[in-house]
Structure formats: structure tokens, C-alpha cells
Amino acid sequence: MSHFIDRRLNPKGKSLGNRQRFLKRARHQIKDAVNKSLRERSVKDLEKSGNITIPSKSTSEPRFRIDPASGKRGHVHPGNKDFAQGDRIKKPPSGKGKGGKDAADSGEGEDSFAFTLTRDEFLDIFFEDLELPNLVKTSLKEIKNYRMRRAGMTTVGSPTSLNIIRTMRNAHGRRLALGRPSTKEMNELKERLFALERIFQPNDQQIAQKKSIIAELDEMERRRRWAPYIDPLDVRYNAFQPEPVETTAAVMFCLMDVSGSMGEREKDLAKRFYMLLYLFLQRRYEKIDVVFIRHTHHAEEVDEETFFYSRQSGGTIVSTAIEEMQRIQAERYAADQWNIYVAQASDGYTQSGDAQRCVQLLTDELLPFIQYYAYIEILDEREMDVFSDPDAGAELWRAYRSINHSHFAQTRIARPQDIYPVFRELFAKNRKEAAA
Amino acid sequence: MSATAKFDTLLYTDSDWNFEKLQRSLDACEDIALNDLGLNIYRNQIEIITSEQMLDAYSSHGMPLMYKHWSFGKHFARDKMMYDKGYSGLAYEIVINSDPCIAYLMEENSMTMQTLVIAHACFGHNHFFKNNYLFRQWTDAESILTYLDFAKKYIAKCEDEFGHAEVEEILDAAHALMDQGVYRYNRPPKLSDSEQLEKIHARAEHERVTFNDIWRTLPLQEETKSEEEQRQTEVRNIKLPEENLLYFIEKASPYLMPWQRELVRIVRNMSQYFYPQKQTKVMNEGCATFTHHYILNELHRRGQISDGSIMEFMHSHSSVVFQPEFDDPRYSGINPYALGFAMMEDVVRICTDPKDEDRDWFPGVAGCGDWRNVLKDAWANFRDESFITQFLSPTVMRHFHMFALADDATKSYYNVDAIHDERGFRQIRDSLSKMYDLGAIEPNIQVVGADLAGDRTLSVQHTVYNGRKLDKKTKEDVVKHLDRLWGYKVKLEEVDA
């Protein structure tokens, strides 16, 4: 009357739908929490999953409750040691129940709800509503992407795409049409034949019967060979056709100043910004090229590892980086086929006169054909107040102020907590409309 | 006694489990449960699951099927984090009041733990579900799974049709009133679920046959004349005051569309289904714990499990029934397993080996010897509150060193009303039994009027006992939800009894 069922192989994630509903509901709070947690994470841990604590108000489930601090009631507790009837026990402060559960004990305040976000959820929330602006140039020239599209049935194909239902249906129809004798019919005949053969001395009628059955069986056998159970004619495969997909080719140039004037703190800020940018691109755009260029008084293209983790120093000539970028772009990324993006981070100090050269390079040569140029100035924390006026700033900043182009943006970062808002500002989805 | 245990009588010899061993254990437990204890159970359906599936089950009230709602996702997120960090372990089992009785066993359990869990869930809880009057009268074990299946599909369909936000709004509001969505005093209309279900099936079939895409959304949005008339009759039949707020809203709300009424009904039915469990925590767990304790010891006595297993069993059993004292940091109220088990063990003692005191307190059963029937009678006919009033013995009170406090919000101290001595036993017993009386611990909130002909104001009243008022903050939030379901003005008054 009892039985066991092994459910271990059942599909997992039954509560995934519930989780998505929960994340959706607490979206704003989670976003804030994710943003906050970004400040506390190191460059390396940026993209890991992690604990999130959100205010529980947004996800509270209120019920009618009796206020514990009202009226009269009695309770019974175990473990009396020296109380006697009529004793008075002073209530603990803050009105908490005697010896009851102390909410603060469990490591989180009463008003917050802590849980873990996976890496994917974390990044999704992180980069929600962000996109590369002005992504327009599409080209079919370099088609690498095909999408497979269903295209009915075919008679040739690989065994993996065999359509069993169609195949069996065809086979069944053909067998009916050709009158293929079934195994059941044959077995019945054979039974009858065996029964007859078991008769010790058969009479003529039985012998005749036997002969006719044998003949019938032979005929059936012949028909069966002639009309097989499954014929190559029956077989159908699901057909797929490749369909070219328009690709938008994009390249992001990351230009970072690693000169001596950039302190450890400034470099860390810049790296965090690029790390965020890199994660964003990886996550949102499947096929995108990222070129890392770092510069001191001369610029060089480096790989991701070197860009984020190596330490090198020297003087500063910003224009070298722009020239290097220009060179690589001319060599590899034709402007009519690629969407070109540039993000530049610097403390804004460069050799005197170089800033003018940068502006000239940008306005005359780059901005006409690139999609977006974002300049991020890394400030000293103390300078933030001094430079609250957008017109005041380091040399490069002041020089860039003269650029007036819808594809150009400049902004400043002084503290880790500035990074995310600035990032959002630069890549907000509706930026285009706002600018227009 | 174990020395006489022959090796070949053992059900299993190592701690790994497999289905063959499980079957042997189940058969052995069943023999003791049915033939020795004389339990009366539903068929068992035992499902082996992983820890992740256990977490899944946790988040949806342990039900194998559940509609989708963010609050379940929230509970899952919390439970998973607590589990991953090692703050809390998982239950060894979950058991569902259905026919067949579904019990979940975790794959991580050792063979002894599986045996314990089988004895606990498949016989202890199972017997309690099948026999206790609350479960028999107020829940419908045969149809709950069918109903859940219907509820899940229905809600999913509503989400498709009207959007997640719309459905969520109604469910949120109904969840907030869940505690007020049960019949406490009147028995709920029997089988309303399955009857309704048949109606819905018939309606769905009709829809299917007369399928016309243009009309597809209409049946849910508008009720037919006859449906409306029937509902209005039901509204007229409601005699105020009405304790079941969700029922009243479902029938009388001037604002809800038919599908929204159906959602309210689903939540109400869930609430009703879980209501007996809330009232029988001590008894239900006590019954299951007593049963597993008896069965495992009997298996050991019969030489079917080894000394090692019985030690392993004792270890987990004693942590299950561990009762921290009031000044212990681990204390969070009285452990229902501990209290239930201690009381039931004591019933056995009173029946077989009573003291003079027990003869005074329990003249009917002291020394009668037939503890099996006394317990079965208790399991069948009592809930926590009445069970404590009837069976809490001085021995148990002494054993727990119980003391009763009077808590008056206006005073800065608790008064020790009674301790575990001759003068105090009766008061402790009364006081403790009140702590398990849902009628006393949950606010008494009823619909007292609805001006359906006039401005449609809904009047709700909280009857205040002993000056115990509603918590202001949650009160406001819940009234907002109530507003949403009613659609017109809602008035909540607190009135002294």
C-alpha cells in the first residue's frame, strides 16, 4: 500500500518563476543595493555573485497582528530556577519579549532582507537599460552570423534531425496502402499450422488445409519483404535553413593614462571604470572588439591582462594614445563598416600644448566618423569641490570643453561611488533622445 | 537484548541507503505501526528528493504544486542563503496532508535517518492527518492536489490574460487577509472545491467546443446573469457579522471581476487547508515524534536495527526534542516537539504506572493500562489547546520547570503568577493552553456591515480583549489591501469586548 518515487532527476529550478517575480518586485531596492555593493568590491570581484541586503519594506507581507506592547496577557516559560509565586521581574528595555528571539542577533537588522544574487542576475541588474549610443552602421560584408531557421521537412538529413512522428506516420500509411500482413496475422496462421501439424494422422482435408496455409504464409512473407516495415521512402527529416543575420560590427577603444601623475587611487578608479565597461560590452554585445591602449609619454596596445593588472609609469603625452588609436583604427577597423567607440580616462594633466593637439585631432579627424567619445577625468577627492564648476579643471578638461559635438561626452569621477552613476549617465538608453 | 540480535535479522548494516533497504524498513515500520500501535493511515507515497528540491518545497508551503507568487521566491531566497551559509539545516522530511499521503525524504539522509523519517512522517503524521477531527472536518485530503493543480493553471492563465501586475495585486491583497480567510466556528461548505471544479471543467469544455477567438476573454471578465444572481443570493444568505473576510469579499465585493473573485477564493481555500495545522503543532509533531520513538525502539528490541543505529537515532531524536530554558540564548519559545512528545510519553506512564497525584488529576485513564487507545483517542479528538487542558500533567510541568508570567503592558515588570508547585499547576496549565488557542492569539476581526445599497462602505470590527490592540503599522498596510479588494471605503474599528 506504500510506494517510493525517485524524484531526484526531476527538473530543477521549480521556483525560478517565483524568484523572477521576487526580483522584479524588489527591483529598485536591489538596484540600489547592487550599486552600493560595487563600491565595496575590488576590481577582481566585480563580476562575482554576492549577498545583497535590501530594505524589507518593499517586500513585506503585512498581516493583522496584535501589538505585543498592549493590553494584558499571560505566558508560560520553561526552566524556572529561583522564581517564586508573586515575584516581580523587570522587563528588558525596548519592550522585547522576555528571552525571546532577538532580531538583531541573526546578523541583520529587523528592517532588512538579505539574500544572494547569482552572477548573471547581478550583471543583468547592473547593466539594465544601458546601451551603446548611435549604433547604426550595419554591414553585410563580413557575414559571420547565420541563424538556423526551420524550413519544413526534407528527405535527406542527419539522424539527429530525424522526425520520428512524420516518418512513422508515412510508414504506417504506406503499410496500410500496400496491405502489409501484420506479425499478429502471421502468428495466428502459424498457430493454426502448428495445431494441424500436431495431428498424428491427418486426413486429406487437413493436409489440403496445411498446404494452403503454407502457401498463404509464403505469400505473406513475400509481401512483407516487398512492403517493409519502414522504407527509406518514409523517412523525413526536420529541415533547417541558414539565414544570414545582419551584424553590427563595433569596436571599443579603451584609452587609459598610466603616467606618473596618476596615483594608485586614480589608476584603481580608471581600472574599475574600464572593468565595468568591459563587463558591460561582454554581457550585452556578443560580437564586439575591445582594444586596450595605455599610454604614458608613448602609447601601446596591450592585452586585457596587462591593461588591468600591470603597473607601469612614465611621463604624459595624451595625444600619443589618440594617435595610436587612430593608427589601429585605420589599419583594422574601416570607418564605413565599424561602429567605433572610444573611452578615455586620464587625470587631465598632459604636456603643455598637447591638450590643444588632442582637441584638434578629435574635432578634425576623429569625431566626424566615430560613434561616441567619452572622456572621464579622474579627480583627486579634494579637487572635487574646487572643480565643482564645470568650467574649471585640468588642462585637458578645459580644452575638451571647447568641443561641441553630439557624439562627445565628458565627465568626472572622484570617488568609487561616482563610477556607477557616471557609467549609467554615459550609456543610458535614452541618452540619444535626451541629447536630441 | 541487542546481544541476542542476530545479524541476519537486521534491516540494514551500513548507513548508505538504497530502495531495497528502504522497502524493508518501510515494511518493518508498517508492521509495528499497524499491528502493534494499531494506526490507521492513508496510502503512503514516498518521494526521494535532493536538497535543492527540498528548498523548492520549503518555499511553497511544502506543497508539490503551487501557483507562482513573488513571496515564495522571497522565502526561497532567504532559505537558500541560510542553508548555504550553514545558519540552518533543512528539515529531514516534509509531509503533506493528502491521500495518498506524500512524504519527501532527502537523499542526504543516512539509512537510520531514512527509517526515522519514514516512521515519523509516513506513520506518525499520516495517522494524525487521517484521524484528527480538525483535518477530517476542515480539509479535503483527496482533492487537495487536484485543486492545487487547478489553482496553478488558473492563475497562470490569468497572468497571461490580464498581466502579472494585475494578478499580483489581487494575490498580495488576498495574502494579507489570509488569516482572516478561514471559517473558525462554522464548518466550511463541504466539497465546495470539487463541485466548483467540476463547474469550471464544464465551463472550460464548453469554451473549447464553442471556441471563438473573439469571445475568448469574455467569460472571465463578465459573469452571466445566472452566475450573478446566484452570487447575489449567496450574499444575501451571509449573516453578519461574518468572520471570514475573504469569503465576504469574494461574494460581496462590488468591485471585483469574476476571475479576481476566483483568485480570492483560491487563497481562501489555501488558508482553510492550512488552518488545522496551525492549531495542532504540538499534537501533530508530538504524535509523529512519539510514533518514531516507539517504532525505532521496537525495531531495536526486535533486533532489526543495530546498536549503532539506535545510538545515531537517539542523537537526532534528542536534538529534535531539545528544550532550551528561558534564559538560554537559543530559547525561542516552547519546542512543540518537546512538549508534545513529553506529554504523550507521560500519558503512557499515567496509564501503566500512575502515581497518586495522577489518579487525582486523571481519574478516567490513570492505571487503565490501555495507553494505545487513550493516545489514539487524544490524537483523534483534540487540538493543542484542548489537549493541554486535558492532558498536561504535574509531572510534565515539573519536568519542564514551567512558570507562568502575567504581562501587563502598563507595568514595567512581569508578575510571576504561578510556578510548578501544588498551588500553581492548574494556572500554568490554563495559561499554557491559552497560548495555543488561536482564538486568543489571533485578532478577532469580523465584517459587521456593508452598505451595499448606499455608499458601499465596508465596516470591519476588531474585538479587543484585555486591551490588546492591533499593531498600528501592519494595520494600516492591511487595510490598504482590504481597500483594494473592496474597491470602496473601508472602516476598521476597534471595540472593547
Assess whether B265 and B348 both reside in one domain. no
The residue among B252, B125, B135 whose CA lies nearest residue B187 is B135
Q: Does A311 touch chain B (CB under 8 A)?
A: no
Cell matching residue B277 = 495545522
Distance CA A206, CA A191 (A): 14
Which residues 213-232 on chain B approach chain A with CB closer than 8 angstroms?
A: none
For the residues B458-482, what does the mean pLDDT come to? 88
Distance CA A390, CA A387 (A): 7
Return the C-alpha torsion angle B339, B343, B344, B347, nearest 10. Answer: 180
Distance CA A411, CA A431 (A): 14
How large is the greatest C-alpha to C-alpha distance in chain A, in angstroms? 125
Q: CB-based burial of residue B27 (10 Å sphere; 0-12 exposed, 13-18 middle, 19+ buried)?
A: exposed
C-beta atoms of B402 and A77 within 8 A: yes
C-beta atoms of B407 and A73 within 8 A: yes
Closest alpha carbon within chain B to A69: B409
Which residues 117-156 on chain B approach chain A with CB closer than 8 angstroms?
A: 122
Q: Which of A11-25, A106-120, B213-227, B476-490 has the lowest mean pLDDT?
A: B213-227
Which residues 60-89 on chain B approach chain A with CB closer than 8 angstroms?
A: 60, 68-74, 76-78, 80-81, 84, 87
Residue B254 lies in a domain: yes
d(CA B121, nearest CA chain A) in Å:
13
Distance CA A436, CA A428 (A): 14
C-beta atoms of B416 and A8 within 8 A: no
Q: List CB contacts (< 8 A) between A14 and chain B.
A: 53, 56
Among B175, B404, B469, beta carbon nearest to A67: B469
Q: Which of A248-252, B287-291, B305-309 has the lowest mean pLDDT?
A: A248-252
Strands A249-257 and B101-106: unpaired
Which residues 95-114 on chain A approach chain B with CB closer than 8 angstroms?
A: 98-101, 105-106, 113-114
For the residues B35-54, what does the mean pLDDT come to? 89
**Residue pair B39/B373 in contact by the 8 Å Cβ criterion:** no
Consecutive H or E run containing A376: strand A372-378
C-beta atoms of A17 and B68 within 8 A: yes
Assess whether B364 and B448 both reside in one domain. no
Residue B299 lies in a domain: no
HEC letters along B347-406: HHHHHHCCCHHHHHHCCCCCCCCCHHHHHHHHHHHCCHHHHHHHHCCHHHHHHHCCEEEE
Q: List CB contacts (< 8 A) between B402 and chain A.
A: 76-78, 80
Q: Does A77 touch chain B (CB under 8 A)?
A: yes
Q: What are the residue ranges spanned by the domains of chain A?
A: 12-58+109-126, 154-239, 249-435
Residue B86 lies in a domain: yes
Q: What is the pLDDT of residue B30?
A: 92
User: Looking at B422, B440, B458, which one is the last position of a domain?
Assistant: B440
Q: What is the pLDDT of residue B217?
A: 41
Residue B160 lies in a domain: yes
Q: List CB contacts (< 8 A) between B324 and chain A.
A: 79
The amino acid present at B225, given as its one-letter code, is K
For the residues B400-406, what does the mean pLDDT come to? 91
For the residues A356-372, what does the mean pLDDT come to? 84
The residue length of chain A stands at: 436
Cell matching residue A272 = 574599475
Residue B141 lies in a domain: no
Q: List CB contacts (< 8 A) between A78 and chain B.
A: 323, 325-326, 334, 400-402
Assess whether B352 and B429 both reside in one domain. yes
Taking all residues of chain B, what is their mean pLDDT, rounded to a whole number? 84
Among A71, A74, A90, beta carbon nearest to B431: A74
C-beta atoms of B48 and A4 within 8 A: yes
d(CA B134, nearest CA chain A) in Å:
24
Q: List CB contacts (< 8 A) between A3 and chain B.
A: 44-46
What number of C-beta contacts closer than 8 Å exist between A and B? 258
Closest alpha carbon within chain B to A76: B404
The dotted CATH code for A249-435 is 3.40.50.410
Q: Does B160 touch chain A (CB under 8 A)?
A: no
Q: Does A93 touch chain B (CB under 8 A)?
A: no
Given a cut of 70, whether residue B256 has pLDDT beyond it is yes
For the residues A33-39, what does the mean pLDDT come to? 71
Top pLDDT among B302 and B233 is at B302
- Beta-carbon neighbour count of residue A312 at 10 Å? 11
Strand partners, A291: A253
- Beta-carbon neighbour count of residue A175 at 10 Å? 19
C-beta atoms of B409 and A101 within 8 A: no
Characterize A92-130 residue by residue with b for buried, 16 or more Cβ atoms within 10 angstroms of its Cβ, and e for exposed.
eeeeebebeeeeeeeeeeeeebbbbbeeebbbebbbeeb
Q: What is the pLDDT of residue A136?
A: 62
Total structural domains within chain B: 4
Q: How confident is the model at residue A103 (pLDDT cuts 50, 70, 90)?
A: very low
Which residues 266-295 on chain B approach chain A with CB closer than 8 angstroms?
A: none
Would the ipTM clear 0.85, i.e. be above it?
no
Q: What is the DSSP string of B57-80?
A: HHHTTT-SS----HHHHHHHHHHH
Provide the domain limits for residue B338: 321-440
Closest alpha carbon within chain B to A21: B70
Residue B140 lies in a domain: no
Residue B83 lies in a domain: yes
Q: How confident is the model at residue B203 (pLDDT cuts 50, 70, 90)?
A: low
Q: How confident is the model at residue B42 (pLDDT cuts 50, 70, 90)?
A: very high
Assess whether B158 and B51 both reside in one domain. no
B205 three-state secondary structure: helix
Closest alpha carbon within chain B to A67: B471
For the residues B362-372, what does the mean pLDDT come to? 88
Assess whether B18 and B127 both reside in one domain. yes
Assess whether B244 and B205 both reside in one domain. yes
Among B18, B42, B405, the residue to mutate for chain A (most A Cβ within 10 A): B405
Q: CB-based burial of residue B123 (10 Å sphere; 0-12 exposed, 13-18 middle, 19+ buried)?
A: buried
The residue among B287, B284, B436 whose CA lies nearest residue B375 is B287
The amino acid present at A104, given as its one-letter code, is A
Cell matching residue B326 = 528561558
Assess whether B423 and B466 both reside in one domain. no
The amino acid present at A354, given as its one-letter code, is D
pLDDT digits 0-9 by tens, B85-142: 766 666 677 888 888 888 888 888 889 989 999 999 999 999 999 999 988 887 877 7
Cell matching residue A26 = 524588489
The residue among B104, B249, B143, B245 whose CA lies nearest residue B184 is B245
Residue B288 lies in a domain: no
Q: List CB contacts (< 8 A) between A29 and chain B.
A: none
Assess whether B452 and B386 both reside in one domain. no
Distance CA A342, CA A322 (A): 10
C-beta atoms of B46 and A2 within 8 A: yes
Q: What is the pLDDT of residue B146?
A: 83
Is the CA virtual torsion B105, B107, B109, B110 positive or negative?
Answer: positive
Q: What is the pLDDT of residue A49?
A: 66
C-beta atoms of A18 and B405 within 8 A: no
Return the C-alpha torsion angle A267, A268, A270, A276, nearest 10. Answer: 160
Top pLDDT among A13 and B18 is at B18
